Structure formats: C-alpha cells, structure tokens
Amino acid sequence: MMANHPNLYLTIKMRKPNEATKSYPLNSTGQLRSNWLDFITQYRDRIMISSDSKYWGSTIVNTTTADSLSDDAIGALEPIQKLLDQLPKKIARDLARNNAAAFLAK
C-alpha cells in the first residue's frame, strides 16, 4: 500500500512484544527484524512512532494515575527506545520527532 499511495503515512505503536506475531518490529530477543529495517528505511519519511504516554516538557505523565515517571509510562517507552537504538541516527530522529512535525505542518 505504501508504494502505491505516496500520501499514506504510518504510525508504529510499540506495545509490549507479542512474540507470536511477526508483525511486531522486534523479535523475541529485542532485535529489529530485517524486513522491518528494510521497510522503515524505504519509507522513513512517512513513518512515525507513537505511544499512549503523555509528555509535558521533560516529564512523562501516566494519565490514569497522574504519577510522573510511572512504571507503566517507563515500560511503554522501552520498546520504542529498543527500536530507535537499532536504526541509523537520522532515521531514528525522523521516526521519533521530525516526521510528525513535518506532517502536522502540512
């Protein structure tokens, strides 16, 4: 679909890994799957990372409990960080921040 629709964007929501599915970007050892690396590299300007954690400044707030830096919020960020750490820095920055900013500026 991405190849046929240049106006299509994708968000990757990194939840706790489900080892039973190959659609999750990381394998059971936390390594980025090669097919995901190829896909992300090819469409790096149209992919964004998302989570349910809320951010205000440098504080992560769990809206359910209103606890800053809750275990749930930190746990939600770990898979995202594992993914981003395995990408070239430019691509990681684009997925984590730049692509969303560019999309919202349109």
pLDDT along the chain (106 residues), means of 10: 94 70 84 94 94 54 50 70 94 94 90
pLDDT of residue 52: 63
Q: Which domain holds residue 88?
A: 10-105
User: Could you tell me the pTM of the whole model?
Assistant: 0.75
Using an 8 Å Cβ cutoff, are 10 and 47 in contact?
yes
Number of domains in the chain: 1
| Confidence (pLDDT) at 28 | 84
Residue with tokens 């190959």: 22
Cα 88 to Cα 73: distance, rounded to the nearest angstrom: 25
| pLDDT for the residue 53 | 58
Domain membership of residue 53 (yes or no) is yes
